Chain A
Amino acid sequence: MAQERTDSPEITTSTKIPFWYDPTKRAIIYQVVVLGMVGMVAYYLFTNTLANLERQNIATGFGFFAKEASFEIGESPISYSAADTYARALLVGVLNTIKVSFIGIILTVILGTFVGIVRLSRNWLVAKLAAIYIEVMQDIPVLLQLVFWYAVFYESFPSPRQALSPISGVYFSNRGMVFAVPELQPVYAYMALTFVAGCLAVWALRRWAKKRQEKTGQIFPVFYVSIAILLALPLATWLLGGAPLQMNVPELVGFNFEGGLTFSPEFAALLLGLVLYTAAFVAEIVRAGIQAISRGQVEAAMSLGLKPGQVLRLVILPQALRVIIPPLTSQMLNLTKNSTLAIAIGFPDFVSVANTTINQTGQAIEGVGLIMVVYLFFSLSTSAFMNWYNKKVALVER
């Protein structure tokens, strides 16, 4: 044996290694086999599908987009009637999804941050209540919560005539939630414009202040000045426009409310369920983010002579947000995906409209494909934003 061992270098160089012992070649073979199997399954399904479609006389493609939808949609941010096309119906669905997700995300972040901070409160009572809230909400399926709130709206709330009014101007009834909103004035559009202008000004100011600080070391009170700019500009516009104060207050006319802003029971239940459920997860994220900062960081910042506000703004928040933002984004995405459960309580979101479309036209493949593409678009754009943000806030190590 020993004799052979010493000879082995010559043997290996002279004899050819069989190709299945070569890792690179073996990798290629594996990949070809896997791809071939996937391709075969795909081909099998594809031919079956074609045969089935032919047999059932279903035309493929998106030709149905231009056809008349001929079904009503309960609520729509844009004008829509049964005579409109499927394309417009689906657009209404997308807009409804965006509407509920957008409002839901804002409310969730506010409520979740609040509960997360309260959870860390030194007050035993409120901290325990927050903990109970988080645990209970996380452990009940969101669909069950949605149908629960829907049932509460339909069965437990009185008719509009005896509507509950916890705060004046807000009414709960089995027709949904109605509340007073400021009367629409042209001034508001200008206020929005000046707000955008204020944002631009703040951005420029921050750049200028940072440059100046790097050059001269002088600190400019960016934070307070920015807030002042953001508030003062719209306020000035409002005063210039004559300071309109009229409110559009809902009034009981016949059997229902008129005026104000109405959330249908479906929308209100969906929003309530999604917000209460997701806020529990957001609260945990916020708590973890705050707890992730070591006490030493705060002490170090204070011993550098920073004021409490500066400690919060320059030391705690940037570090906490680095921990909080990534899981927070995925919760926002979860909320958007969970809004598809609207179909169970009859709110016309995108999935619900697409489902009606599938049932009417039989275009199952196109319909399900559309649903997937739309939600993939939401999540891919979110993760693109996430990657950008992560790069921006990532630790720069020397």
Chain B
Amino acid sequence: MQEAYETKVMKPPVTRAGVLGWVRANLFSSVFNSFLTVVTIYLLWKIVPGLIRWALIDSSWTTTGAECRAAGGACWSVVTKNLRFIIFGFFPYEWQWRPLLAMIILFTLLIVSRNRRYWKKWLGYLWVIGLFVMGLLLKGGLFGLPSVESTKWSGLPLTLLLSVFGLTAAYPLGVLLALGRQSRMPAIKSLSVVYIETIRGVPLISLLFMSSVMFPLFLPEGITINNILRAQVAIILFTAAYIAEVVRGGLQAISRGQYEAAESLGLNYYQKMRLIILPQALKIVIPPSVGILISAFKDTSLVVIIGLFDLLKTTQATLSDPRWMGFSVEAYVFIALLYFTGCFSMSSYSRRLERELYRGT
């Protein structure tokens, strides 16, 4: 070991590190991969410039429909000129700040709830107050706000209302159903199983039809319930079955020892569930519950079919105006962006949460 090795400072090989190395490793690692990259780039080259030209360069943003037709490119004017109708629908024009404020409250609450440090009791009370204020802002009739008929509720507020209230009301029902399914009492167990499996087996639209054409037959003469509430009930009943299955997964993930420990402490059923089992089970199922919120948010678009004016329907109403006919693609792309923003932020949050929760805290 006498011989001293000569140490030379060598530069990293160009072909392995740096930009070139990255390109080589990730795009041209084999003949097949190189081929794939070249073909993909060719296809992108064929599609993307044309798309950008259509969407940005040749597009019109604040013109009338006729000018749009002359210009040729994408007509985003259909969105900018009709934005208030697409978002708020038939809500009285001068009072549209009310649903706007309600949505701002909702988004603030959602953003605050993202942080797990704030998951305390006061946040729950805040949500209750928030939901109440939102309902008040929409409905009016108190504190000098004129009352607005629920038939006028439409657009984005309606979509959010149906999904947020739907999930809030469906959650307790879903937990009850999940507990019922785990129950040792045969009658309660079979009732829950039949309910859950039936609802999960049929499409949401059949429940919406039920609420719109069958429900009026169920009520005694003279009593009517408005359209939105009926659709809301259908969405709640539907979502509850899916929540029940998610919660059941959480209940099953709690080890048997927890149940036995609770029982050996002398807790009765309600104490055992409320103090020991549910707090743990519900924590496990938060990420899949966000998944259900996403589906509920997407599924509310189905109320179009029974004639409610949600975000999709207000857009379609705009498009049926002869001045704006023929720009469906632009308008649909816009609301697709709205839905995408909502769902994507929820799903990426759910993934982050999953990582944090399973890292063990």
Contact = CB atoms under 8 A, between A and B. Distances in A.
Interface string A125-150: 11001000001101111111101100
B328 to A, nearest CB: 3
B217 A155 contact: no
Given A123-B33, A140-B336, A143-B304, A337 B203 contact: yes
Given A35-B191, A48-B220, A139-B343, 13 more contacts: A30-B185, A34-B187, A34-B191, A38-B191, A123-B26, A141-B298, A144-B301, A144-B332, A144-B335, A147-B312, A155-B328, A337-B202, A367-B213
Contact of A364 (B214, B294, B340): B214
B127 interface: no
Contacts of A35: 187, 191
Interface of B: 26-27, 29, 33, 36-37, 40-41, 184-188, 191, 198, 200-206, 209-210, 213-214, 216-221, 294, 298-299, 301-302, 304-305, 312, 316, 326, 328-329, 332-333, 335-336, 339-340, 342-344, 347
A36 to B, nearest CB: 10
B347 A139 contact: yes
Contacts of B333: 148
B301 A126 contact: no
Q: Is chain B's interface secondary structure helix, strand, loop, or mixed overall?
A: helix
A11 B305 CA distance: 68
A371 interface: yes
B202 A376 contact: yes
Contact of B188 (A34, A355, A378): A34
Contacts of A154: 328
B340 A140 contact: yes
B302 A143 contact: yes
A376 B198 contact: yes
B217 A52 contact: yes
Interface centre among A49, A53, A135, A141 (most CB of B within 10 A): A141
Contacts of B203: 337-338, 340, 351, 371, 375
Interface of A: 27, 30-31, 34-35, 38, 45, 48-49, 51-53, 55, 121-126, 129, 135-136, 138-145, 147-148, 151-152, 154-156, 337-338, 340-341, 343-344, 351, 355, 358, 364-365, 367-368, 371-372, 375-376, 378-380
A287 to B, nearest CB: 14
Nearest to A136: B340
Contacts of B347: 135, 138-139
A324 B187 CA distance: 34
A364 B27 CA distance: 59
A322 B148 CA distance: 54
Contacts of A379: 200-202
Given A123-B33, A375-B201, A45 B191 contact: no
Contacts of B219: 48, 52
Q: Which 4 A-B pairs have the closest CB atoms?
A: A151-B328, A139-B343, A124-B26, A379-B201
A341 B185 CA distance: 39
Nearest to B212: A364
Contact of A31 (B185, B198, B299, B343): B185
B312 A156 contact: no
A53 to B, nearest CB: 7
B65 to A, nearest CB: 13
Contact of A358 (B185, B198, B213): B213
Contacts of A143: 301-302, 304, 312
A122 B339 contact: no
Nearest to B294: A139
